[in-house]
Amino acid sequence: MSYLATSHFLDDNEFVDKYLYSMRTGELDLSWMDASTKDVHCTSANERRGLTFRDLDVDGYGFSDLPEVVRENRCYAPRGAEIPDGVPDMQASVNRSSDVWAYNVEGYVEEAMSRQWDATTDIPWAELQEAELPEEIGKAYAQLLTFLTEVEMIATDVPAKWMGQVNADFIEVKNFIALQAMDEARHAEIFRKRALSTGYGLMRASVQNEHNLKFLRDAETFSEASVTLHLQAEGNVLTMFRFSEYISPTDADKRMFRLVMQDEARHVGYGMQHLKWLMKHNPECRETLHAHLEEAENFLFGSIFANEVFEPFVILSGKGLKKENIDKGLVITGMFQMRQTEEYFERLDKCGLTDRRERSRLHEVYEMTKQGLAAQGAI
């Protein structure tokens, strides 16, 4: 499988002689000084923001000039550099802009770099040490955290899997997914650390959800992976974190969810802007996406079997295990699920996949449930 460079540099006399000659005589080639590239002097448009990728969007280097199909660069060269003969092929399989690009990706990548945080130091762990959680809250919370740790790990694998496939000309996207991998590693970290600091430890893995996660990971195209991971799954998680006011047992936990939420919102933002871009620039893929979403929704409906996720949510939102707690928890959880589903369809609408609602069996169930709840006077 190994790749071998086209030259063995220590045995390549021409290479060795040139090196020794330059070093011994000081006669340099310097032909690179006349590289046929644009002379640019980018400065920051807003000094408080510093020098951003958007400031680099200039003639000869910018992302605004990216063609739909990248044909010129197949190697590791940075976009805009002169590419000489003899460079290797990086074996990218994603070479179409519409397969990865998103409106404002250059903004998301800057935001990601500047809003990094540290699970080790940004949570008042010492304060949490004092917080005793009652058994039912503690166990339910530990179970929920176990599930969240599981979810986050898949979200590191997906960007990593695509990194090497994405053409080097899409550098803003590559950097975005590198940062997403780090964001998700930090999420897995913080949920694990929180679980292990509750006094209850990690609980049970979720079979049902793990199969769903495997589906997210093994999507055939980047766009399919993105629409189900960034938009659908992370969208659901984002809604869940917004419910953290109900489910967080302490203020420090609320802070934890707020920090994670910022990152998640960025991932969802990218997912939506990518889907919008895709719908505009490559609308033919609509049917393939529908097919992929159909299976994603099938998994979602099947998550009714993941009682190790729903039940902790019910207990946490009802704040206990007594009948009145469970009743209250069920109402809140029901509302939360409705909200999740509604927001999912809203996101798809906004991105131009407006016909999803009429084709979706999940939407049918959602409408029926809504009518049922309305008949009971619950909503």
Partner 1 sequence: MAYFADRQYFDDPEAIKRGTEFSEGKLILDWYEIETDRVRCTPSDPRRGLTYEDCSKGTYSWDLLPEFVRHNYSMAARGSVLVPGLPDMGYTENRKSDIWADNIGELYEESKSRRWAPAVDVDWKALAATDFDPAVTASMCQLCTTLSEVSLVAMEFPSRWVYAINQEFLELKSLLCAQMMDQARAVEVFRKRALSSGGLKRASANVQQALKELLMADNYIEGSIGINLLVGSLLLGVYRVAATASTIDAHLFRRCQQDAARLVAYGMGNLAYHLAHREGRQEVLNEYLDSVEHCFAGIAGATEMLEPLIVIGGGGTEPGQVASGRARVASIYRVVVDEYLGRLATAGLERRDRSRLPAFFAAA
Which residues contact Fe ion by CB under 5 A? 152, 155, 184, 187, 234, 264, 267
Minimum CB separation of residue 52 from partner 1 in Å reads: 5
User: Does residue 103 contact residue 273 with C-beta atoms inside 8 Å?
Assistant: yes
- Comparing CB distances to partner 1, the nearer of 234 and 308 is 308
Using CB distances below 5 to 8 A depending on partner kind, what does residue 187 bind out of partner 1, Fe ion, none? Fe ion
- Comparing CB distances to partner 1, the nearer of 68 and 218 is 218
**What does the block give as tokens for 122?**
């940004």
**CA nearest neighbour of 312 among 290, 296, 329:** 329
Cα-Cα-Cα-Cα dihedral sign, residues 261, 267, 270, 272: negative
**CA nearest neighbour of 107 among 264, 270, 265, 268:** 270
Using CB distances below 5 to 8 A depending on partner kind, what does residue 2 bind out of Fe ion, partner 1, none? partner 1
Using CB distances below 5 to 8 A depending on partner kind, what does residue 234 bind out of Fe ion, partner 1, none? Fe ion
As a whole number of Å, the end-to-end CA separation of the chain is 60
- Comparing CB distances to partner 1, the nearer of 175 and 273 is 175
How buried is residue 89: exposed, middle or buried, by Cβ count under 10 Å (0-12/13-18/19+)?
A: exposed
Coil, strand, or helix at residue 94?
strand
- Comparing CB distances to partner 1, the nearer of 15 and 350 is 15
Minimum CB separation of residue 68 from partner 1 in Å reads: 23
Minimum CB separation of residue 73 from partner 1 in Å reads: 9
Minimum CB separation of residue 164 from partner 1 in Å reads: 5
Rounded to whole angstroms, how far apart are CA atoms 153 and 181?
Answer: 9
Identity of the residue numbered 104: N
CA distance readout (Å), 110 to 16, 51, 53, 176, 279: 42, 10, 7, 9, 25
Minimum CB separation of residue 230 from Fe ion in Å reads: 7
- Comparing CB distances to Fe ion, the nearer of 110 and 169 is 110
Using CB distances below 5 to 8 A depending on partner kind, what does residue 103 bind out of Fe ion, partner 1, none? none
How many Cα atoms occupy the beta-carbon half-sphere of 37 within 13 Å?
Answer: 19
Minimum CB separation of residue 317 from partner 1 in Å reads: 13
Q: Could you tell me which residues come within 8 angstroms of residue 300 by beta carbon, excluding any fewer than 6 positions away?
A: 212, 232, 236, 362
